[in-house]
Amino acid sequence: MPDTPAAPAAATGRSGLAWLWLAALVLVLDQISKVLVMNQLTAYQEVIPLTGFFNLVHVHNTGAAFSLFADQPGWQRGFFMTVGVVAAALMLYLMRQTRGRPVFCLALALILGGAVGNVIDRALYGHVIDFLDFHVAGWHWPAFNVADSGITVGAVLLVLDSFRKPDKA
């Protein structure tokens, strides 16, 4: 007997939109942490060492992840805002269509919250506020923020979920 298509998402229970609370949490934590950093640390001047490998800093990133394209003449603000909005719309669409895949929905929610957090920064400030600075033996990982963490963890979860065996109907 040939495989039958899965029932439409609307007919199979709660959608992945039930995970929006997590996207909102990532967004709120991201924005609150950035406001605290902006109010407490002067950009590029202050460093608060917390451990032998972790500092709080205040830097501006006009580029993408790891400051990629930060040295460009300014096209990246609109471009990355557009990419973030399109990515958020795609995450919402996928979450709405998805049932019975909690890891997938968790990943999408983390990415959604992070993408919106960074779009807000670009819209308000023209750059993203980064402040988490990890370092080892004088080598510093590029500073990042809560939104970036959500995006990264979400991306890793998407990769892991891609190895999941599909459920048999």
> Model pTM?
0.85
Task: Taking each helix axis as running N to C, give the angle between helix 146-162 and helix 20-40, from 0 to 180 degrees, rounded to the nearest 10.
Answer: 150
Give residue 67's pLDDT: 66
**Candidates 30, 121, 130, 133; catalytic one:** 130
Q: Which residues contact 129 (CB under 8 A, 6 or more apart)?
A: 34, 37, 38, 58, 59, 60, 61, 121, 145
pLDDT for position 168: 60
Segments of the chain with pLDDT less than 50: 1-12
Closest CA to 129 of 147, 107, 153, 106: 147
Q: Is residue 3 part of a domain?
A: no
pLDDT of residue 169: 52
Contact 60, 129 (CB under 8 A): yes
Q: Is the dihedral of CA 17, 23, 24, 25 positive or negative?
A: positive
**What pLDDT shows up at residue 12?**
47
**pLDDT digits 0-9 by tens, 25-45:** 999 999 999 999 999 999 999
148 given a catalytic annotation = yes
Do the domain assignments include residue 7?
no
The pLDDT value recorded for residue 9 is 43
In a domain, 8, yes or no: no
Tell whether 10 is covered by a domain. no
| Domain housing 91 | 15-162
pLDDT of residue 14: 75
How many structural domains is the chain composed of? 1
- Is 64 inside a domain boundary? yes
Residue 167 lies in a domain: no
Catalytic residue among 121, 148, 161, 167: 148
Torsion of CA 66, 69, 75, 76, to 10 degrees: -20
Structure confidence at residue 102 (pLDDT): 92
